[in-house]
């Protein structure tokens, strides 16, 4: 049982319960839906504002703690030495364990391949990330020293990342820059949006090929916000083709997710100081979609 304090008056019921139970909002929402949250003896909606002195009784099922264990999953290694690995991540693979994707991730596969990786257990070795349905090149550190050096290089924008994407429509300008701070969408917590109170984000783009009602675009990132390219292109009015969150349906194509691929990666090796550059073509599904849009 929990009694609402004066400082919590007016807050949403689900927010108060999540704080009291130290539980994610998704778990509280499931409990509310199942009728396991009662306010003053009566079932209540998660959006209900609470009042000081309200008595809340709840039963919230907490998920088991997240863990990252080695799993024998094939991975496409483009380059590897004693300090780092460059991986070509496939569409559909989550980068690291999270609620909803507890295993089968790239980190699980890397741990089986290497044995141990530096940094946070769940994001072990990852210098940066890609969305589940974005394919392409990912940089992984194998030592603490490499992770520190590459992390600093990423912060200072010394690591070059270039993406290929298919976008709906043809942007007005052949090339341009989208600058818009990105934060979580208050109407849908799965989405992000351009917001004044968000984190600074800069995306450079250039049309590579004009297609029928669409085009292929190259993107270069100055920052690495979650869903950055997808949010910026949607705000520009040209969402990524096949994007389930920010796009629109196109009957000409059938994709697992968005047509976005990290095809080029360049950086200075943290130990040898050699400048390295890698490039991988987009997966077959992307190429078939591009061909379909060529007509």
Residues 103, 37: Cα–Cα separation, whole Å: 30
* pTM metric for this prediction: 0.78
pLDDT tens digits, 89-123: 999 999 887 766 677 899 999 999 998 899 887 78
Domain boundary among 42, 58, 74: 58
CATH of the domain at 9: 3.10.290.10
Residues 253 and 290 in one domain: yes
Tell me which residue range forms the domain holding 37: 2-58
* Rama region for 227: left / alpha / beta (φ>0; ψ in -120 to 50; rest): left
From 131, 133, 243, 250, the catalytic residue = 131
Residues 26 and 75 in one domain: no
Of 97-101, 175-179, 221-225, the one with minimum mean pLDDT is 97-101
Query: For the chain, what percent of residues have pLDDT higher than 90?
Result: 71
Residues 162 and 142 in one domain: no
CATH of the domain at 253: 3.30.2350.10
pLDDT tens digits, 6-46: 888 888 999 899 888 878 788 898 899 999 999 999 998 99
pLDDT at 66: 67
- Note if 131 is an active site residue: yes
Residues 164 and 78 in one domain: no
Domain boundary among 21, 36, 58: 58
């Amino acid at each position: 049982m929990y009694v609402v304090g004066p400082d919590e008056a007016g807050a949403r019921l689900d927010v108060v319960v999540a704080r009291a139970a130290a539980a994610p909002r998704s778990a509280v929402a499931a409990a509310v839906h199942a009728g396991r949250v009662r306010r003053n003896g009566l079932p209540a909606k998660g959006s209900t504002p609470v009042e000081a002195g309200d008595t809340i009784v709840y039963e919230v099922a907490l998920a088991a703690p997240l863990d990252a264990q080695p799993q024998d999953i094939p991975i496409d290694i483009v380059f590897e030495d004693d300090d780092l690995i460059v991986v070509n991540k496939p569409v559909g693979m989550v980068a690291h364990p999270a609620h909803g994707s507890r295993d089968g991730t790239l980190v699980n596969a890397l741990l089986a391949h290497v044995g141990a990786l530096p940094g946070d257990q769940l994001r072990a070795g990852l210098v940066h990330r890609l969305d589940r349905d974005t394919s392409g090149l990912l940089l992984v550190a194998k030592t603490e020293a490499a992770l520190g050096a590459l992390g600093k290089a990423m912060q200072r924008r010394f690591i070059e990342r270039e993406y290929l994407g298919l976008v709906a429509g043809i942007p007005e300008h052949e090339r341009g820059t989208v600058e818009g701070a990105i934060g979580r969408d208050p109407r849908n917590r799965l989405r992000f949006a351009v917001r004044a109170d968000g984190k600074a984000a800069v995306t450079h783009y250039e049309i590579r090929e004009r297609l029928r009602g669409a085009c292929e675009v190259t993107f270069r990132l100055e920052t690495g916000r979650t869903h950055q390219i997808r949010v910026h292109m949607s705000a520009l009015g040209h969402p990524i083709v096949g994007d389930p969150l920010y796009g629109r349906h196109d009957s000409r194509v059938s994709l697992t997710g968005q047509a976005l691929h990290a095809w080029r990666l360049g950086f200075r090796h943290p130990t040898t100081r050699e400048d390295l550059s890698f490039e991988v073509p987009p997966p077959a599904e992307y190429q078939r979609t591009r061909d379909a849009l060529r007509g």
